[in-house]
Amino acid sequence: MSPESTRTARASIVSCRGVRKRYRLGAVEVPALNGVDLHIQTGDLATLAGPSGSGKTTLLNMIGGLDRPSEGRVAVAGKDLADLDRNRLTELRLHKIGFVFQAYNLIPVLSAIENIELILRLLGVERGERHDRARAALRDVGLEDMADRRPAYMSGGQQQRVAVARALVARPAIVLADEPTANLDSKTAEDLMALMAHLNAVSGITFLIGTHDARVIAHAGRHIEMTDGRITADERRESA
């Protein structure tokens, strides 16, 4: 690979500059982020860790366009989020950002494959292609044989794998995961992180994972620490 293509492959998919967030509780302003500068590169498998109240979930919400900073700028896939109205922000989230939540957020009345196809329906993908892509996504997470099973008849780990497949099926630029292993036992959590690491290594999918779980951090090629709304450490571990 040429130096030019290497630079392109490692371009920043997320850029945060001087990001601050303050929430008002009655007459009191509570700072959640205190001047965050952060760049996530394409192909990163990065963890964002810190104690409760450190700001990691708030920062993920800023990057995902779920909340707006009080000050500073956030750009995703080359788009400054401050320049986007609600409709364009929704489009960016739909096309460029995959989400994996602690609570899975699957629709109970839909099967695994229908939960995944729903994202493609929103993207306007034709029915036959929707089905093929959703089944391929389930195959990637090892659940093709559970395509017709509803969430209530799946384990927590299986539901979280469906959530990962749903996040990936739209081929986003980045997947944001907030405490994805919090409701999982040790073995299932390890399996889920091994899956994400595999998808990152094989497909180059970018992950930013908010966590305090050492099992998750062990798989990361990059580890970022937050305290009191600030980034206090940023370590790259290429061998992870």
Task: Quick: pLDDT tens for 209-222.
Answer: 999 888 889 889 99
Asked if the model's pLDDT at residue 141 lies above 50, the reply is yes
Of 47-56, 115-124, 182-191, 198-207, the one with minimum mean pLDDT is 182-191
Instruction: Give the model's pLDDT for residue 3.
Output: 40
Domain coordinates in residue numbering, the chain? 43-66+94-236
CB 151 within 8 A of CB 125: no
* Percent of the chain topping pLDDT 70: 95
> Which of the four pLDDT bands, split at 50, 70 and 90, describes residue 41?
very high
Instruction: Give the model's pLDDT for residue 61.
Output: 95
Q: What is the four-CA torsion angle of 78, 83, 86, 89, rounded to 10 degrees?
A: 0
Mean pLDDT, range 172-192, rounded to an integer: 89
Asked if the model's pLDDT at residue 48 lies above 90, the reply is yes
Instruction: Give the model's pLDDT for residue 238.
Output: 64
Q: How many CB atoms lie within 10 A of CB 31?
A: 16
Give the three-state DSSP class for 102: coil
Q: Give the separation between CA 211 and CA 86, rounded to whole angstroms.
A: 28
CB 140 within 8 A of CB 87: no
β 79-80/45-49 pair status:
unpaired
Instruction: Give the model's pLDDT for residue 77.
Output: 93
Alpha helices in the chain (DSSP H): 3-9, 56-63, 86-96, 112-122, 127-140, 156-169, 186-203, 214-217
CB 166 within 8 A of CB 101: no
Report how far Cα 129 is from the mean position of its chain's Cα atoms: 24
Measure CA of the first residue to CA of the last residue in the chain; give whole Å. 22
> Given CA atoms 141, 146, 147, 152 in this order, what sign does their dihedral have?
negative
Q: How many helices (H) and strands (E) does the chain have?
A: 8, 10
To the nearest whole number, what is the mean pLDDT of the chain? 90
Asked if the model's pLDDT at residue 167 lies above 60, the reply is yes
Asked if the model's pLDDT at residue 142 lies above 50, the reply is yes
Candidates 3.30.450.40, 3.30.300.180, 3.40.50.300, 3.50.50.60; CATH matching 43-66+94-236? 3.40.50.300
Q: Give the separation between CA 2 and CA 132, rounded to whole angstroms.
A: 35
Instruction: Give the model's pLDDT for residue 182.
Output: 85
Instruction: Give the model's pLDDT for residue 1.
Output: 40
Phi first, then psi, for residue 66 (nearest 5°) are -85, -15
- Tokens 């750009």 identify what position? 75
Mean pLDDT, range 8-29, rounded to an integer: 87
Mean pLDDT, range 130-155, rounded to an integer: 94
Q: What is the four-CA torsion angle of 9, 47, 217, 204, rounded to 10 degrees?
A: -20
Mean pLDDT, range 98-107, rounded to an integer: 89
pLDDT, tens digit (0-9, with 9 covering 90-100), for 50-81: 988 899 999 999 999 999 999 999 999 999 99
Instruction: Give the model's pLDDT for residue 187.
Output: 86
Q: Give the separation between CA 76 and CA 81, rounded to whole angstroms.
A: 7
